[in-house]
Structure 1
Amino acid sequence: MNEAQQSLADDPRSLSEQAYDRIRRDILLGNLMPDAKLQIETVSDRYGIGAVPVREALNRLSAEGLVQRRNQRGFFVSPLVIEELAELVRTRILLETLALRESIALGDEQWEEDLVLACHRLARSSRRLGPEVATRISEEWDIRHNEFHRLLISCCASAWLKGFCATMMVQAVRYRNISLNINPNPARRDGAVAEHQALLEAALARDADLACRLLGEHYSATLATLRPAGMQA
């Protein structure tokens, strides 16, 4: 048994779940580029997982919008479209500020403590990235960043609203990572650490108007730095 096979054997999750996680990760990181054909046999060989679990994973990713199933042609990584990026950010601001306002109103002391810790971890992760952040976002930073933004709205009472926000976050992460992969000289986001700190302070002060304004500016600033060269017009 080789190392890859041993790793699969040691993982208690189902093969379908493993295939889903690994394909999803590579799509979000840009290792599988937009419009890439996902032949069952090729994907199966790539991850060392059988064809049936791979097909189940691709069907699940298709339902989430990360993969497209095209009639008579099979599975493809979903394309990225320039106009859809701006629309995604606009919709994300509309819904996430709504969730943030309610989360601030309902958040308790434990929420505050968790938010402070998440912001600290994110800032520490950002400092460790160094100059290479201009060409590659680390997986640790991605995890910490998502954790902080998820916690901001975690006390919103609407599971539907939080679910929509989570789906948009996944798509935004993909756009960002793809943009960094295809753009050799991306604009740096040197102000992101200060923006997260300002968001934290506004949330802790229970200033919902300020927090929502800062969140919208934060997402708009990130959008402005993404050069969508290589995406569909």
Structure 2
Amino acid sequence: MNQHLQPVISTASSRIYETLRRDLVGGRFAAGEKLAINALKEHYHVGLSPLREALNKLAAYGLLIQENQRGFRVPTLTRAELDDIASMRLELEGMAFERAIQHGDAVWEAELLAAAHRLKRADMSLEKDEEWETLHSQFHRTLVAPCGSVWLLRFIEQLHDQFDRYRRLGPKMPTVRQTLDDQHHQLVELALQRDTKAARALMDDHIHKSYQVALKRYEAHA
């Protein structure tokens, strides 16, 4: 391959990777659906090489299944998998939050307050779902950022994407969402107070409540 073309392909691959990742998590493609390469090229206006590179990365990440000689398929959804993902979130995200509270500095506190403020502003406009989802992810990422483990952060990011495939199956639930939004700000307050025990307990409850939402939506689609 021409070495001058490689950066262009890599840039295009990164762009289509992020777009496809967002669409897979958001439910644009049905669980179990086989992806047609030509249709993807046309829809996303992307060349074959960067598209295949992105699809391979998404398969390695777990958002696609690569079938020998038969392309790529969206993973199915199962109750057992949802339970497993939620269980791992409880362990890993809770542990990361505890570590973040222990190691976070003043810069982290400022970033956490800023992330919470942006999310609160988005909470006031529930129709902007994609904006809210982006800010929600950023908020949770900021909560655990100073945990001190790159691998732990990677695992949590992957679990969030897999979990959100279930959570975003159905329509908005304003009452439940308000409860979860209130907990976001309580998590910040406890983190700033360095109350590790109470913060961990609230994080566990937050994940459990989110799991109940995801479970109801899964059961409605099963």
Counterpart secondary structure, 2:125: helix
Tell me, yes or no, if structure 1 residue 54 matches structure 2 residue 57. Answer: no
1:111 pairs with one of 108, 111, 123: 108
Give the number of the structure whose residues are more often helix, by fraction: 2
3-state SS in 1 of match to 2:73: strand
Residue matched to 2:95: 98
Cα distance in 2, alignment partners of residues 20 and 13 from structure 1: 10
Structure 1 stretches of 4+ moved >4 Å: 183-187
Q: Give CA deviations for 1:22-73 in whole Å, capped at 9, x if unaligned.
A: 2212111111121111121121111111222211111110000001012343
Structure 2: 5+ residue stretches without partners: 1-7
User: Aligned to 2:191, what secondary structure does the other structure show?
Assistant: helix
Change (3 A) 1:121 1:168: same
Match of 1:216 in 2: 204
Is it true that 1:164 corresponds to 2:152 in the alignment?
Answer: no
Describe how 1:62-211 pairs up with structure 2 within 5 A: 62-129=59-126, 132=127, 138-177=129-168, 179-180=169-170, 188-211=176-199
- What is the Cα deviation at residue 80 of structure 1? 1.6
Could you list the per-position Cα deviations for residues 85-112 of structure 1 after superposition, in whole angstroms to 9, with x for gaps in the alignment?
1211111110111111111011111111
Deviation at 1:207, TM superposition (A): 0.5
Q: Partners in 2 of 1:230 and 1:69 — Cα distance?
A: 28
Aligned CA RMSD, in angstroms, stands at: 2.1
* 1:82–1:231 contact (8 Å) kept in structure 2: no
Q: Residues 80 and 231 of structure 1 are in contact (CA less than 8 Å); yes or no, is this contact kept in structure 2?
A: no
Q: Which one of 21, 25, 28 corresponds to residue 25 of structure 2?
A: 28
Specify the code of the residue in structure 1 equivalent to 2:66: R
Name the aligned partner's letter for residue 202 of structure 2.
L
CA distance in 1 between partners of 2:141 and 2:172 (Å) = 30
Q: Distance in 2 between matches of 1:198 and 1:31?
A: 32
Pick closer, same or farther for the CA change 1:99–1:117 going to 2, 3 Å.
same
1:167, distance to aligned residue in structure 2 (A)? 1.1
TM-score, normalization: structure 2? Answer: 0.88
Tell me, what secondary structure is at the counterpart of 2:145? coil
- Name the aligned partner's letter for residue 18 of structure 1: R
Are the equivalent residues in 2 in contact too, given 1:70–1:76 (CA < 8 A)?
Answer: yes
Please give the alpha-carbon distance, in whole angstroms, between the structure 1 residues aligned to 2:172 and 2:91: 31
Which whole-Å CA distance do the structure 1 matches of 2:172 and 2:191 have between them? 36
The separation in 2 between residues aligned to 1:186 and 1:83, in whole angstroms, is 27
Is 1:41 the equivalent of 2:31?
no
Could you tell me whether the CA contact under 8 Å between 1:100 and 1:152 is conserved in 2?
A: yes
TM-score (norm 1): 0.84
Q: Does the Cα contact within 8 Å between 1:118 and 1:144 map onto a contact in 2?
A: yes
CA distance in 1 between counterparts of 2:50 and 2:107 reads 40
Give 3-state SS (helix, strand or coil) of 1:75's partner: strand
Judge which range, 61-70 or 51-60, deviates more.
51-60
